[in-house]
Structure 1
Amino acid sequence: MNTLSTLLSLVIQIYTMILLLRIWMQWARCDFYNPFAQFIVKATQPVVGPLRRLIPALGPVDTASLLIALLLSVGKVFLNPYVSVSGIYIIFSAALILIKTTGSLLFWVVLMLSIMSWVSRGRSPVEYVLIQLTEPLLRPIRNLLPAMGGIDFSPMILVLLMYVINMGVTELLSNIAIPLAYIWSWA
């Protein structure tokens, strides 16, 4: 049973990342004619499309996709065999799982962009979307860093900042009386 719940949790996390990627792509105004962007839209459209008729977007944020990602995170709370929470703690736990998934997505996007910059050198449509996604986050870091002779340390600094924030939130959650730290580490 534990293997099945772990596998289902992984599938939920991957689909949640795809939904968050759709939200992020709309926020960053990525080129939606890109083949990678078309894949993200086609993978999420059957679920997001009908809900979009009921829930309009709030500016650049696709609220229908965000709601579905939150509902998937609520489902992930119920899959955790070590935690029994109820009431408002379920929504709070799901929001924490969603934040953790967003940080994990950001890490993987920065890592993929770094690896692809060595291999494809700007010729891949996936790399083009990844550049559009990360540029609003990396530009302020690049503006603060001095010139390093052609080496870009901004992705490494962004990942380090994410790690520090993750550790701080995990420490904060470990001081809460309810077992939310287990949810945080399990997510």
Structure 2
Amino acid sequence: MLALIQTLVLALDIYWWILIGSAIFSWLYAFNVVNSRNQFVGAIGSFLFKATEPVLAPIRRILPDLGGIDISPIIVLLLIFFLRQFILTTIAPILLS
């Protein structure tokens, strides 16, 4: 059971970093810092978009329009933090005792 909990926490940690990478990449792309015509850059952007958009899109529909500010990644990061802490402090001690 410990291996399952650790794997789940690792998956949440990896997705945490993918979300941060996606946010940073979107800023770099928006400010034209990265070359959008580069095939490697396009592949990274496509991966990050496809990995994060299924989670971010429903949250964007719920949130009110804040102009050009997208706070949906912050909401997801908070949810991941809560879920990770809930698993480690509540579920893990119950399952491992």
Give the structure-2-normalised TM-score: 0.80
Q: 1:112 aligns with which of 3, 16, 21?
A: 21
The Cα shift of 1:153 comes to 0.4
- Is 1:129 the counterpart of 2:47? The answer is yes
Q: Which runs of 5+ in 1 are unaligned?
A: 1-91, 179-187
Alignment of 1:1-150 (within 5 A): 92-121=1-30, 123=36, 124-125=41-42, 126-150=44-68
Q: Structure 2: where are the runs of 5+ without partners? A: none
Deviations 1:122-169 (A, max 9, x none): 822202210111111101100100000111100000000011111111
- Counterpart of 1:168? 86
| CA distance in structure 1 between the partners assigned to 2:8 and 2:95 by the alignment | 17
The 1-side partners of 2:29 and 2:57 are apart by 21
1:21-75 deviation per Cα after TM superposition (whole angstroms, max 9, x unaligned): xxxxxxxxxxxxxxxxxxxxxxxxxxxxxxxxxxxxxxxxxxxxxxxxxxxxxxx
Runs of 4+, deviation exceeding 6 Å: none
User: Contact 2:5–2:87 (CA<8 Å) still a contact in 1?
Assistant: no
Greater helix content: 2
Output one character per residue of 1:80-106: Cα deviation in whole Å (capped at 9) or x when no partner: xxxxxxxxxxxx111111101110111
Shift of residue 120, structure 1, vs aligned partner: 2.8
Alpha carbons of structure 1 residues 95 and 143: separation in structure 2 relative to 1, 3 Å: same
Equivalent position amino acid for 1:130 in 2: L
Figure out how many residues of one structure are paired with residues of the other and give that number: 87
RMSD: 1.7
Which whole-Å CA distance do the structure 2 matches of 1:137 and 1:100 have between them? 18
SS, match of residue 68 in structure 2? coil
Larger-gyration structure (1/2) = 1
TM-score, with normalisation over the residues of structure 1? 0.43
State the match for 1:65 in structure 2.
none
Once the 2 structures are TM-superposed, how far is the Cα of residue 175 of structure 1 from its aligned partner? 4.8
Change (3 A) 1:119 1:134: same
CA contact (8 A) 2:23 2:73 kept: yes
